[in-house]
Amino acid sequence: MRRIAQSEPTPEAVLSGQVSVDLSAISDNIKALKKRTAAPHFMAVVKGNGYGHGLVDVARTAVAAGADWLGTAQLSEAITLRQAGITVPVLSWLYLASQTSATIREALEYDVDVSLGSVGQLEVLAGIAEQLGRPAVVHLELDSGLSRGGARKENWPELVAQARKAEQDGTVLVRGIWTHLAWADVPAHPGNAAAVAEFEDAVREARAAGLDPQLRHVSSSANILDRPEFHFDMVRAGLAIYGLAPADHLDPADFGLRPALSVTAPLVMVKKVPAGTGVSYEHQAITHEPRYLGLIPLGYADGIPKGISGRSLVQIAGRKVPVIGKVCMDQFMVDLGPDASGIEVGDTAVLFGDPAGGAASADDWGAAIGSHGDEIINRIAPRLPRVYESSAYECPDYQEAPSDVA
Ligand X SMILES: Cc1ncc(COP(=O)(O)O)c(C=O)c1O
The region of 6-14, 102-110, 232-240, 295-303 touching ligand X under the rule CB under 6 A is: 232-240
237 versus 321: smaller Cβ distance to ligand X: 237
Q: Residue 327: which of 364, 300, 301, 348 has the closest Cα? A: 300
CA distance 14 to 296: 13
Residue sitting closest to ligand X (CB): 238
220 binds ligand X (CB under 6 A): yes
- The answer to whether 117 and 149 are in contact (CB under 8 A) is yes
246 binds ligand X (CB under 6 A): yes
Q: Is 281 a catalytic residue?
A: yes
H runs (alpha helix) in 52-189: 55-65, 75-83, 102-109, 119-132, 156-169
Residue 72, classed as helix, strand or coil, is strand
Number of alpha carbons in the 13 Å side-chain half-sphere of residue 5: 21
Q: Min. distance of Cβ 268 from ligand X in angstroms?
A: 34
CA distance 139 to 216: 9
Residue 104, classed as helix, strand or coil, is helix
263 binds ligand X (CB under 6 A): no
66 versus 338: smaller Cβ distance to ligand X: 66
Q: Residue 44: which of 30, 28, 31, 24 has the closest Cα? A: 30
Q: Min. distance of Cβ 186 from ligand X in angstroms?
A: 11
Packed helices 102-109 and 119-132: angle between N→C axes, nearest 10 degrees: 60
Which one of 118, 221, 262, 287 is in contact with ligand X (CB under 6 A)? 221
Q: Min. distance of Cβ 115 from ligand X in angstroms?
A: 8
Q: Min. distance of Cβ 202 from ligand X in angstroms?
A: 16
Q: Is 35 a catalytic residue?
A: no
Residue 384, classed as helix, strand or coil, is coil
Interface positions, 169-208, toward ligand X (CB under 6 A): 180
- Among candidate residues 31, 271, 272, 281, the one labeled active-site is 281
49 binds ligand X (CB under 6 A): no
- Applying CB under 6 A, the site for ligand X has a residue count of 11
38 versus 406: smaller Cβ distance to ligand X: 38
Number of alpha carbons in the 13 Å side-chain half-sphere of residue 395: 27
Q: Min. distance of Cβ 116 from ligand X in angstroms?
A: 14
Residue 176, classed as helix, strand or coil, is strand
93 binds ligand X (CB under 6 A): yes
Interface positions, 274-333, toward ligand X (CB under 6 A): none
- Binding residues (CB under 6 A) for ligand X: these are 45, 93, 180, 220-221, 236-240, 246
Active site residues: 47, 281
